[in-house]
Structures are given as structure tokens and as C-alpha cells.
């Protein structure tokens, strides 16, 4: 999975595996989280959001199953 750096104050980088529908997010303070069953549309909306942190809080965190990797 390729990670793309972001301009977010909360998120360092984001990666997405379309086939597995896995979203990987590298947070600047809390490390790497992997979210499962994330549709491609949600990933695209995250990457297009003017505030990626707000989008994460509103649309992804506590919505999709997640595991803390490191």
C-alpha cells in the first residue's frame, strides 16, 4: 500500500487498498491505524476534504472497524 503525505495538522499520511477496502492512516500523535470495510468513495472524500481531521472524526473514526498498528 502506498502512503500519500497530507497537508493535515492531524494526519501525516494516508494509504488505501481498493481491493481489500482497507484505509491506513498515519496520525501525527497516535500512530498508525488500519480501518476495514472502507468504500473507495469514503477514501476519495477524505483526500478531497479541506479538513481531513474533521472528516476522519465525522465519517471514519468509530464508524469503521479499526486496529492500532503502532
| Mean pLDDT in residue range 60-67 | 95
CB 43 within 8 A of CB 23: yes
| Cβ-contact 10, 53 below 8 angstroms | yes
Cell of 47: 483526500
> Is the pTM of the predicted complex or chain greater than 0.95?
no
Q: Give the tens place of pLDDT for each residue, 17-43.
A: 999 999 999 999 999 999 999 999 999
Can you give the residue ranges of every domain in the chain?
3-68
Amino acid at each position: 500500500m502506498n502512503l500519500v503525505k497530507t497537508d493535515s495538522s492531524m494526519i501525516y499520511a494516508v494509504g488505501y487498498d481498493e481491493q481489500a477496502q482497507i484505509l491506513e492512516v498515519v496520525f501525527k500523535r497516535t500512530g498508525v491505524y488500519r480501518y476495514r470495510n472502507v468504500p473507495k468513495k469514503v477514501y476519495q472524500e477524505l483526500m478531497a476534504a479541506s479538513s481531513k481531521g474533521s472528516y476522519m472524526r465525522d465519517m471514519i473514526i468509530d464508524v469503521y472497524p479499526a486496529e492500532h498498528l503502532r
